[in-house]
Amino acid sequence: MESWSWPPRFAEDYRPSPDEHFWFRRRETMPAGDRDAAILERVREVMRYCWDKAPFYRRKWSEAGVHPDGIRSLEDFERVPVVRKDELRRAQAEHPPFGDYACVEPSEVGHIHGTSGTTGRPTAFGISRGDWRVIANEHARVMWGMGIRPTDMVFIGSFFSLYMGSWGALIGAERLGARAFPFGAGAPGQTRRAVVWLRELRPTVFYGTPSYALHVAETASELGIDVGEFGLRILFFSGEPGASIPSIRGKIERLYGGRVFDSGSMAEISPWMNLGESSAHVGMLCWQDIVYTEVCDPSTFARVPYGGEGTPVYTSLERLSQPMVRLVSGDLTRWEAGPSPCGRTYPYLPKGIYGRIDEMFTVRGENVYPSAIDEVVSALPGYGGEHRILITRAEAMDELTVQIEFDGATRAAGDDAVEALRRRAEGDLRAVLGVGARVVPVAPGTLERTEFKARRVLDDRDLWAKARR
Binding site for a second copy (CB under 8 A): 96-97, 106-107, 109-114, 116-118, 121-122, 124, 150-151, 153, 159-162, 166-167, 174, 179-184, 186-187, 189-190, 193, 196-197, 200-202
Distance CA 189, CA 228 (A): 21
Please say which residue, 104 or 217, places its beta carbon nearer to a second copy: 104
Considering the complex, what minimum distance in angstroms separates the CB of residue 215 from a second copy?
Answer: 14
Number of H helices, E strands in the chain: 14, 21
Please say which residue, 6 or 197, places its beta carbon nearer to a second copy: 197
Please say which residue, 26 or 202, places its beta carbon nearer to a second copy: 202
Considering the complex, what minimum distance in angstroms separates the CB of residue 168 from a second copy?
Answer: 13
Considering the complex, what minimum distance in angstroms separates the CB of residue 454 from a second copy?
Answer: 17
Contact 317, 327 (CB under 8 A): no
Residue 373 host element (H or E) = helix 370-378
Q: What does DSSP say about strands 234-237 and 259-264: parallel, antiparallel, or unpaired?
A: parallel
Measured in degrees and rounded to the nearest 5, phi and psi for residue 142 equal -70, -40
Please say which residue, 167 or 314, places its beta carbon nearer to a second copy: 167
Return the C-alpha torsion angle 197, 202, 206, 209, nearest 10: 40
Which has the closest alpha carbon to 338: 14, 35, 10? 35
Considering the complex, what minimum distance in angstroms separates the CB of residue 148 from a second copy?
Answer: 14
Considering the complex, what minimum distance in angstroms separates the CB of residue 390 from a second copy?
Answer: 25
C-alpha distance from residue 335 to each of 166, 284, 295, 341, 391 (Å): 26, 9, 7, 15, 30
Please say which residue, 235 or 417, places its beta carbon nearer to a second copy: 235
Please say which residue, 212 or 292, places its beta carbon nearer to a second copy: 212
Considering the complex, what minimum distance in angstroms separates the CB of residue 183 from a second copy?
Answer: 6
Contact 342, 279 (CB under 8 A): yes
Q: DSSP for 252-294, please give it.
A: HHHHH-SEEEEEE--TTTSSGGGEE--TT-SSEEE-TTTEEEE
Considering the complex, what minimum distance in angstroms separates the CB of residue 186 from a second copy?
Answer: 4
Considering the complex, what minimum distance in angstroms separates the CB of residue 129 from a second copy?
Answer: 8
Distance CA 28, CA 285 (A): 10
Which residues are within 8 A (CB) of 345 and not within 5 positions of it... i.e. 6 or more apart?
A: 28, 29, 30, 31, 32, 35, 338, 339
Contact 234, 243 (CB under 8 A): no
Distance CA 205, CA 155 (A): 6
Considering the complex, what minimum distance in angstroms separates the CB of residue 109 from a second copy?
Answer: 5
| Length of the chain as a residue count | 469
Please say which residue, 127 or 373, places its beta carbon nearer to a second copy: 127
Please say which residue, 203 or 339, places its beta carbon nearer to a second copy: 203
Considering the complex, what minimum distance in angstroms separates the CB of residue 14 from a second copy?
Answer: 16
Please say which residue, 206 or 335, places its beta carbon nearer to a second copy: 206
Which has the closest alpha carbon to 287: 176, 179, 138, 401? 138
Please say which residue, 61 or 181, places its beta carbon nearer to a second copy: 181
Please say which residue, 125 or 406, places its beta carbon nearer to a second copy: 125
Please say which residue, 6 or 160, places its beta carbon nearer to a second copy: 160
Residue type, 49: Y
Distance CA 284, CA 276 (A): 5
Which residues are within 8 A (CB) of 326 and not within 5 positions of it... i.e. 6 or more apart?
A: 77, 80, 81, 82, 83, 294, 301, 313, 314, 315
Distance CA 336, CA 371 (A): 20
Q: Which DSSP state fits 320?
A: S
Contact 344, 286 (CB under 8 A): no
Considering the complex, what minimum distance in angstroms separates the CB of residue 122 from a second copy?
Answer: 7
Considering the complex, what minimum distance in angstroms separates the CB of residue 203 from a second copy?
Answer: 8
